[in-house]
Amino acid sequence: MIFIRQKMILSLLKQAGHPLPRTVLVKLAFLLRQETVVKEESSFYDFVPYKYGPFSFTLYRELGNLQQYGYLASGESSIALSESAPDLAIDMTTRLPKSIQSAIADVLGRYGKLSQDALVQSVYTRYPWYALNCELPERRLISIQRPKKAAPAVYTTGYEGRSVDAFFNDLMERGIEVVIDVRANPVSRKYGFSRLRLGDLCERLGFEYRHMPNLGIPSVARAGLSDFDSYQRLLNQYEQRMLPEHPADIEELGRILCRRSSVLVCVEKDVRCCHRSRLANAVAAATGLEVVHL
């Protein structure tokens, strides 16, 4: 299955009419997100400050997928439609709404003829936040105010419904330093949130990653959850029976939270249906810190 955001990338390449350097492709996708109606397309790529400015780990992964599907021919430094792809790309992209096709044409019209250096400089100047972690010399010309470190508190968040890029961008903006994974079984079908991948992305983006599986709920205990009441019964059991079995882990977690700005991470968007709410209350009681659900 080809997602609409992937069709937009194929359309971008088709309308460009020639291979695009990887950096240029990412920057043009970023400008689509920032400056056109594509910003209202919730499934489109999110971006995070990285080594070369705004970057989307999800986009890079899906470029690889599109290459495997036969749509793209990828060189070391550029991306192009494969020899068999143009007709497929036309078929795919003509199904896009006219407003999106026009947005792609508009971005190419305004930025498509710029050199890579000029395009990068333009993005850095107008969107300095995304040059925060950039290693290119152009960043030195940009005034960037780093976010203040978050005040000590028991911060929590769930990644449900968010891309990994939006997830990390939000934590950067809030001044979080440490990601504490409190899932008992940190696997995920959502890209970026399995333990190994999440830890790797934390390292790349300057976060510390900690996994504290003893503070999670085993998968077997979560079987059969179906409604709000069933979640509450499980969370009551977690609070009354499971948590008291791990006082050392709670104490260690409290020390981390008091020392560095940290966030407890689990899956659920609704904190009322996630064990991190009860865990946060227990740590707050032990440390005196405020609970803040992001």
For 222-265, what is each residue's pLDDT tens digit? Answer: 887 888 998 899 999 999 999 999 999 999 999 999 999 999 99
Q: Which has the higher per-residue pLDDT, 262 or 85?
A: 262
- Evaluate if residue 188 carries a pLDDT over 90: yes
pLDDT digit string, tens, across residues 148-174: 999 999 999 999 999 999 999 999 999
**Which of 268, 266, 270, 206 is CA-nearest to residue 48?**
206
Q: Which has the higher per-residue pLDDT, 3 or 87?
A: 3
Crossing angle for the helix pair 98-111 and 22-35, nearest 10 degrees?
A: 120
Q: Do 120 and 27 form a contact (C-beta atoms < 8 A)?
A: yes
- Evaluate if residue 142 carries a pLDDT over 80: no
What's the mean pLDDT in 36-53?
A: 95
Q: Do 129 and 40 form a contact (C-beta atoms < 8 A)?
A: no
* Domains in the chain with CATH codes: 4-141 (no CATH), 154-293 (3.90.190)
Q: Go through the chain and tell me how many residues it has.
A: 294
Q: Report residue 77's pLDDT band, with 50, 70 and 90 as the boundaries.
A: confident
Q: Report residue 31's pLDDT band, with 50, 70 and 90 as the boundaries.
A: very high
pLDDT, position 208: 98
Q: Report residue 136's pLDDT band, with 50, 70 and 90 as the boundaries.
A: confident
Q: Do 90 and 83 form a contact (C-beta atoms < 8 A)?
A: no
pLDDT, position 201: 98
- Evaluate if residue 91 carries a pLDDT over 70: no
DSSP state of 216: S
Query: What global pTM score does this model have?
Result: 0.92
The share of the chain scoring above pLDDT 90, in percent, equals 78
pLDDT, position 193: 98
Q: Which amino acid is at 112?
A: G
Q: Report residue 212's pLDDT band, with 50, 70 and 90 as the boundaries.
A: very high
**Which of 224, 228, 188, 212 is CA-nearest to residue 276?**
212
- Evaluate if residue 1 carries a pLDDT over 80: no
Q: Report residue 63's pLDDT band, with 50, 70 and 90 as the boundaries.
A: very high
Burial grade of 188 (CB within 10 A; 0-12, 13-18, 19 or more):
middle
Which residues in 51-93 belong to E strands, given as ranges? 53-55, 72-74, 78-81
